[in-house]
Amino acid sequence: MTTIVRVAARGDGVADDGRHIAFAAPGDTIAADGTVQPGPHHNVPPCRHFPACGGCQLQHLDDESWSDFIVERVASALAAQGLSAPIRMPQLSPPRTRRRATLHFDPAGRLGFAQEKSHQLVDVQECHVLAPELFALVKPLKRLLPSFKPKRRLDVHLALADQGVDLLVTGIAPEGLAHADAISAFAQEHRLARFAFDDGMGPETRWEPDAVTITLGNVPVPLPPAAFLQATREGEAALVAAVREAVGDAGIVADLFAGLGTFALALPGRVYAAEGARDAIAALKAAAGRAQRLVFTEHRDLFRRPLTTAELDRFGAIVLDPPRAGAREQAAQLAASIAPAIAYVSCNPSSFARDAKTLCEGGWRLDWVQPVGQFRWSTHVELAARFSR
């Protein structure tokens, strides 16, 4: 009899004889005829759409084995670069806390998550990851969107802002009085914070009774449509706590790839924030100014123009939170910097490990990694890590 011993990066169970078995959890056993006997870590998937829906890959794991999966992803990415570090217990976001998601609507009337490597959409009737405020719009949207007669697939971006749900539909620009009335009626009935459409020319807001904000570090920040937000409030809090710990009382801190200021506004002292998205950095600048926070902003492409070693050396600590590709160019400059500490936040263990290797070759030590599971039941892994000299 073979036993599942771990979960591979894409979510398959890996047996002690090396076989990959789909939807098997550690501790499950595989009988001679190939049937999976659930073990103690096999979770009964709570959702009827699992595994067909693209939103979740790991509902068959209990939290202990999901947590082990996350730790192993980080450890194996580091090991592939010849590195190791203390990896802390992952901080897992509970079900139904996702406050930002993109669903898709197809002309056949299905609304759901996209599956990896497939064009099929599962028409979601229930969801155990979305915040209830977001899920509550699924059925009403399925009634509204067909009235615009879309000819191709639409993207439906949902985010939970301070004022309620911020909704952006891309791929269509409804025109005419009837559509305008339908949009206003829908927004009013569902108390939307904002309703915007984008057919390739940039978001056009059709409803926004009060300026939409997202509060970060107690500061309400204007929220541009479809701007980056950490996926859950719990995930944001875990990452912020790890960054604060990593930075300590560093004096002036640089926050690179700052977005709307998730970290810049959560740090107590003076912060320099750099970000490539113009609308995000403008929002952070305005919010920090209004709240009289000492955040100095710069619109800067950190791939093309990373902070130089001389610039970095002026800071007491550097926070960086790049996109999935990582921060190859910035890491090369950081490797030679004498700044005392780095807090590296990443949504991709592989690019993180590659950049960590560059830093360690420059004499930095990787002190710890705090994984964060804010995409519940998915193979997505986030983390915050501390490097010191």
Ligand X SMILES: C[S@@+](CC[C@H](N)C(=O)[O-])C[C@H]1O[C@@H](n2cnc3c(N)ncnc32)[C@H](O)[C@@H]1O
Q: Which residues are catalytic?
A: 347
Q: Please report how close the Cβ of residue 327 comes to ligand X at its closest, in angstroms.
A: 9
- Report whether 275 belongs to an annotated binding site: yes
Report angle CA 51, 172, 178 to the nearest 5 degrees. Answer: 115
The residue among 4 and 281 lying less far from ligand X, judged by its C-beta, is 281
The residue among 61 and 254 lying less far from ligand X, judged by its C-beta, is 254
The residue among 13 and 276 lying less far from ligand X, judged by its C-beta, is 276
- Report whether 257 belongs to an annotated binding site: yes
- Report whether 292 belongs to an annotated binding site: no
SS (H, E, C) the chain: CEEEEEECCCCCEEECCCCEECCCCCCCEECCCCCEECCCCECCCCCCCCCCCCCCCCCCECHHHHHHHHHHHHHHHHHCCCCCCCECCCEECCCCCECEEEEEECCCCCEECECCCCCCECCCCCCCCECHHHHCCHHHHHHHHHHHCCCCCEEEEEEEECCEEEEEEECCCCCCHHHHHHHHHHHHHCCCCEEEEECCCCCEEEECCCCCEEEECCEEEECCCCCCCCCCHHHHHHHHHHHHHHHCCCCCEEEECCCCCCCHHHCCCCEEEEECCHHHHHHHHHHHHHCCCCEEEEECCCCCCCCCHHHHCCCCEEEECCCCCCCHHHHHHHHCCCCCEEEEEECCHHHHHHHHHHHHHCCCEEEEEEEEECCCCCCCCEEEEEEEC
Applying CB under 6 A, what is the total number of residues that bind ligand X? Answer: 19
CA distances from 316 to 57, 78, 269, 287, 342 (A): 40, 26, 11, 24, 9
Question: Which x/- pattern over 224-263 shows residues binding ligand X (rule: CB under 6 A)?
Answer: ----x-x--------------------------xxxx-xx
Of 207, 296, 303, 368, the residue at the interface with ligand X (CB under 6 A) is 303
**Options 36-44, 87-95, 296-304, 362-370: segment touching ligand X (CB under 6 A):** 296-304
Of 277, 332, 335, 336, the residue at the interface with ligand X (CB under 6 A) is 277
The residue among 27 and 259 lying less far from ligand X, judged by its C-beta, is 259
Q: Please report how close the Cβ of residue 35 comes to ligand X at its closest, in angstroms.
A: 41
Q: Please report how close the Cβ of residue 32 comes to ligand X at its closest, in angstroms.
A: 47
Q: Please report how close the Cβ of residue 317 comes to ligand X at its closest, in angstroms.
A: 15
Of 28, 234, 279, 321, the residue at the interface with ligand X (CB under 6 A) is 321
39 contacts ligand X (rule: CB under 6 A): no
The residue among 28 and 236 lying less far from ligand X, judged by its C-beta, is 236
Distance CA 57, CA 45 (A): 10
Question: Which x/- pattern over 326-365 shows residues binding ligand X (rule: CB under 6 A)?
Answer: ---------------------x------------------
Of 301, 308, 314, 389, the residue at the interface with ligand X (CB under 6 A) is 301
**Options 156-164, 187-195, 284-292, 301-309: segment touching ligand X (CB under 6 A):** 301-309
**Options 5-13, 132-140, 193-201, 300-308: segment touching ligand X (CB under 6 A):** 300-308
**Options 82-90, 135-143, 317-325, 334-342: segment touching ligand X (CB under 6 A):** 317-325
- Binding residues for ligand X (CB under 6 A): 228, 230, 257-260, 262-263, 275-277, 280, 301-303, 321-323, 347
